[in-house]
Structure 1
Amino acid sequence: MYTSGAPGMIGDWDREREAEKIPSAENHGQLGKEEFLRLLITQLENQDPLNPMDDKEFVAQLAQFSSLEQLTNISEEVKAIKENSVQQDMVGAVGFIGKEVMAEGDQVSKDANTISTLYYNMDDTAAKMYFNIFDSHGNMVRTVEMQARQAGEYEFNWDGKDYSGREVPDGNYKVTIGAEGFNGEPVMVNTSVSGRVSGVQSMNGQSYLRLADGRVINFAQVSEVVESRSAESQKEE
């Protein structure tokens, strides 16, 4: 049976596929280039010889298919580049194993009397600063208040004790910093951590360095390779 409604067949095709719950494309539920080509062939096979498809319409659909194919190829190339970039990052990250690095981060580790240092810097002067320390369950175990600090780079060394002065269990702790200026305005504080790299892992398409104390830092956020420092010899500046 011939049909003269060729222009409406794409809409009919999509409606039938939706009714059957069959995705048109592998990932996004859209019409893929193979489906588009089959649909075009079906239109040609079923068009009415007495009322064939208009040349302009046919050329337009071919142009759509060409554009779809180009976009698909570009998508595949971008995916390949991304995968290659992740592999290169992993190879580069392996070279950091055994080295002491510094990177953006907000966690410190406690192992007996050894507590890692948190480094922070500010572009503006802070009248008051609050260092809030949280355990791995998100419970606040201590708040340390600091007085005025000029813009610059500093170190924070926690004594490993809670509000009551008791030693907290060994592990990793998150430190958040709240700072305000002399007029109560918020002051931006950037933090970083350091540690010896013991391993490399990939998560969500990104490479991470695993430190010897269990902390994890983003490889892309490593700022420098530093000398090993003893937390016991560090004092608050």
Structure 2
Amino acid sequence: METVSGSSPLDNIRWQQENNTPEAEENRGMLTQADFFALLTQELSNQDPTKPVENNEMISQMTAFSTTDGVTKLNDQFTSFAASMSSSQALQASSLVGRSVLVEDNVFGMEEGQSVKGKLVTDQPASNVNIYVENVAGEIIQTVPVGNVASGEFTFTWDGQGSNGEPAPEGAYRFRVAGLVEGNASELQAMTYRKVDSVTLAGSGGSILLNLNGGSTMKLSDVVEVSQG
């Protein structure tokens, strides 16, 4: 008498169905290079012998697929590169906290007892140059005589004191630089160094923003100079 071991055929079929791993959802509908060559082989095996596929047509199909595959890989590489650049910029921006950056603006905020550094820019020689420190009301708090300057950029520092020798109160101020250029009264460009209080890693448009003392912000890409103080 024969003895039959194991499950019934129906059980075997059910077991096979349950253990059949479905294809990953993200891979469905995507043709790989192996799929392309399988289709090409199938096409060649079923072609009309009297109308064979031209060599240039076959090469064109292979080139088109290779180009598409290459562009896809290139896009993936660019995505990875962009993510790496963002991480690098975030690390660079975080290292600026507590340091000063040059801003193309003559307005700045100051705490009492603090000194402020600025930069005078002129493309022509000037004489009788004075740096005026003004408050928000336009009142002159301090006047710093400079004298004659050649064309170029010159760094200066205001010690935070008014003309009376007392520390200026906390608030907003601006540098105004005036002198004679070719004998005519002119205002020269003044820029300021502003301390970075914090960094916003995902600002407007996805750019990295530096939050400066005084409440203003600037893009990391707009930084032209960094100072220790």
Normalising by structure 1, we get a TM-score of: 0.46
Normalising by structure 2, we get a TM-score of: 0.48
Work out which of the two has the higher radius of gyration on C-alpha atoms and give 1 or 2.
Answer: 2
